[in-house]
Structure formats: C-alpha cells, structure tokens
Amino acid sequence: MVQKFIFTLIFLASIIANAQKKYSIQHKFTYKLTYQPDSTDVHTKQSEDMFLLTNEDLSIFQSKNGYIKDSLLLAIENKPAQEINMLDISRFPKTQFHFKILKEKSEDSITVYDKIYTDNFQYKESNNNIKWEITSETLSINGLKCQKATAYYAGRNYEAWFSNEIPISDGPYKFSGLPGLIIKISDLKNHYVFELIAKSDKNLSYSSLKPRRNLFITTKSIYFDRLKDYKKNIVERIAQSGFTINDEYKEEVKQKLKKRNNPIELKN
Amino acid sequence: MKNLFLTLAFVLGAASSFASDSTEEAVALERTCVPTTLSCGIEGWSCGDTTTEILENAIAADEALCP
C-alpha cells in the first residue's frame, strides 16, 4: 500500500516536473525563411522569421510567430469560453510552420514536435540522417567568413554556408553537424531558403516546448501518413476539430489548398 | 510582452462580453461556439470548452485556410 502510494507520488511529481520543464537559453538566432508553397508558381513565395534558441546542451528551433502565439495562449489558459461572443482573428500572429525541433547534444536523435491541425505529435529522428560534404569554397555573408557544404535530405539537395566564427554546430530546421553555425541554407530550387538575419546573447527562459493539449507520441512515417490523410479531407477534418466553415466558402477553400503542394520534406 | 497583451486585447476585446460568476459556474462544461471571421474574410464558427480551445481552433483554421 505504502509502495503504491510512493509510486503514485513519484509518478505525479514526474508529470508536474515534466509539464513545468524550463530551458535556460543563452543565444537566440533569428533566421528568415523564404519558401514557395506552390512548386509551379514562383509568385507564391512567402517568408517567415524563425528562432534557433541554444544553450550548451541543446537547441530548439521554431517559428517566431509560433513562439509569440504560445505565449499569448498561455496567458489566457483555461479562461471560461463564455467570455467571448465573437472573434476577429486577423491580428493574431500566425505561422505555416508548427514544428518545434529539439536537438540535445546528449542524444543521438532529434525530437520533433509538430501539429496536424490541432492534434499534436512527437516523433524522433536520427541526427545522422544528413551526410554533409564539405567543400573548399568560401564566401563572406554579412561579414562572416563562410564555407560551403552540401547534403541531400528528405527529397531535396541542399547547399549550406557555415561559419567557424560562430563555433556552434547547429543550424535551422533539422540541419546541424557542421563545424560552425549554418548562416544560410537553401535547396537547389530555392523553394526553401533559411538566412541568418539576427543574433542575440540575451538570456531567456523557454517553457513552451510541449503542447498543452493531447500529445501523440509516434514515428516519423506514421506522422507523415496522418498528414497525407489530413490533406485529403482537410475541410471535413477542420469541421470535426471545432471550426465549421460556412457553405459559401467551401469551394474557394478547396481550390486554395490545391496550391499548397510543396512541403519542405518531399520524402520521409 | 506588452505588445502580446495588446494583441490579445484586440482579438478578444472588441466584442467580448463578461458573464457573471454564477453564470460561468452553471455553464462551465458547455461547449461554446463563437461566430468567427478569419484573416482572409472566411466566416465560420469556432467551438471549444475554454477560451484557449476556441482561440486555438480559430487560429488553426486561419493558418490552414488563409495562408
């Protein structure tokens, strides 16, 4: 009985500790991601700022607007729904990239938190998936001496420029493992281009890695299977989750979604 | 942080109405649906049990439908 009680106590304590886990961040690197959602139309290019937050042991990569959005939602968590009677969502920060990528130096895999609509997923991926080929070519980018490396990852060939002047073996998205920070990386079609635009050494505390709602721990291939299913039935899936589109907009929505055919990972 | 709360006040504040404490308790478990306008003009209804859930559903719809 006592043993059961102690076990329950430890279990509850571990849940609480996990839920409240905070990371102390030493460096914040801001990348501008320019991407082309429709592979057939260069005019669809958009951009979004992304954060790479690092300390000596780990890094977290996520979109800037996702980071702001998490902070806003945390501020109103569990307020009763009756306090709203109409919503205009136009000023709320939004992102097209919901992933949060955790790279820990002590682990040989990276942990990816991602979303399919409002469902949260977590999967792990080996951090040896990217085999870099370092060349002797150099270039100065924003005053930093950079060296070129190339790699293939998830259906795209990439060209990266890293700098020994920032001796952090990390970079945007899932990219890391070069002898210096990746300053710029793009696939050869320029459909996804990450460029370092700012860095700051201000200390900050980060606590919103794990999602508040249900988390499905799965594999990368199951996650991408679910994503494929979602894309086939997107309007219906959105309705099931709690947003009903008025009928007159449904056809417009379906046409619009057809133009989003160029994810960063083409193969997994 | 100040900007965050200003944004929040804008999103929620324009048309918020505050029910009394007793009403909130009585209907706390009811699912609420709120008329919602997305950033690209699409109109619909966002539902949830809490303000966070309604907002999350509306934001997710906005991100999916108004990229």
Closest CA to B64 of A239, A241, A99, A234: A234
Cα–Cα distance between A204 and A202 in angstroms, integer? 6
Alpha-carbon span A141 to A230, nearest angstrom: 40
Is A233 in contact with A94 (CB distance < 8 Å)? no
**DSSP letter string over chain A?**
-HHHHHHHHHHHHHHHHHHT--EEE-EEEEEEEEE-SSTT-GGG-EEEEEEEEE-SSEEEEEEHHHHHHHHHHHHTTT-BGGGBS-EE-TTS---S---EEEEETT-SEEEEEEEETTEEEEEEEETT----EEEEEEEEETTEEEEEEEEEETTEEEEEEEETTS-----STT---SSSEEEEEEETTSSEEEEEEEEE---EEE---S-SS-EEE--HHHHHHHHHHHHHTHHHHHHHHTEEEPGGGHHHHHHHHHT----S-S--
Residue B1 CA, chain-centre distance (Å), reads 20
Cβ atoms of A49 and A32 closer than 8 Å: yes
Return the residue matching tokens 């619009």. A256
pLDDT at B6: 46
Q: Does A82 touch chain B (CB under 8 A)?
A: yes
Exposed/middle/buried for residue A239 (C-beta within 10 Å: 0-12, 13-18, 19+)? middle
pLDDT in the model for residue B25? 45
Residue with tokens 């990276």: A110
Residue A13's pLDDT is 39
Could you tell me the residue range of the domain that residue A229 belongs to? 23-128+192-258
What ipTM was assigned to the predicted interfaces of this complex?
A: 0.74
Whether A60 contacts A73, CB under 8 Å: no
Minimal Cα–Cα distance from A228 to chain B, Å?
14
pLDDT for the residue numbered A17:
40
Cα–Cα distance measured from residue A231 to residue A256, given in angstroms and rounded to the nearest whole number: 12
* Phi-psi map region of A143: left, alpha, beta (phi>0 left; psi -120 to 50 alpha): left
Q: Determine whether the interchain pair A68/B4 forms a contact, defined as Cβ–Cβ distance below 8 Å.
A: yes
Flag if A89 and B34 touch (Cβ within 8 Å). Answer: no
End-to-end CA distance of chain B: 25
What single letter denotes the amino acid at residue B47?
A: C
Q: Which chain B residue shows the shortest CA-CA distance from A95?
A: B63
Using the beta-carbon criterion (under 8 Å), do B15 and A88 form an inter-chain contact? yes
Domain count, chain A: 1
Q: What are phi and psi of A9, to 5 degrees?
A: -60, -45
pLDDT recorded at residue A37: 95
Q: Are the beta carbons of B67 and A96 separated by less than 8 Å?
A: yes
Interface of A with B in 34-53 (CB under 8 A): 37, 46
CB contact under 8 A, A252 and B19: no
Chain B interface disruption, residue of A71, A78, A84, A231, most B CBs within 10 A: A84
A240 in B contact zone (CB under 8 Å): no
Would residue A33 count as lying in a domain? yes
| B28/A245 CB distance under 8 A | no
- Which of A75, A86, A257 is the closest to B34 by Cβ? A86
Chunked in runs of 10, what are the mean pLDDT values of chain A (268 residues)? 44 43 91 96 96 96 93 76 74 90 94 92 92 98 97 97 97 97 98 97 81 88 93 82 79 80 92
Whole-number pLDDT of residue A2: 46
**Confidence at residue A82, expressed as pLDDT on a 0 to 100 scale:** 64
Q: Tens digits of per-residue pLDDT, B12-60?
A: 443 333 333 334 444 445 678 889 989 888 888 898 888 888 888 899 8
Task: Provide the 10 A C-beta neighbour count for residue B38.
Answer: 26
Examine residue A168 and state whether it is found in any structural domain, yes or no: no
Give the C-alpha separation, A228 to B58, whole Å.
Answer: 22
* Amino acid symbol at A209: L
Residue appearing with tokens 């793009």: A186
Question: Considering the domain boundaries, does residue A7 fall inside one?
Answer: no
Contact B42 A245 (CB under 8 A): yes
3-state secondary structure of B27: coil
Q: Is A258 on the interface with B (CB under 8 A)?
A: no
Rounded Cα distance between B35 and A210, Å, is: 29
User: Using CA of residue A80, residue A81, residue A87, residue A93, what is the dihedral sign?
Assistant: positive
* A133 at B interface, C-beta within 8 A: no
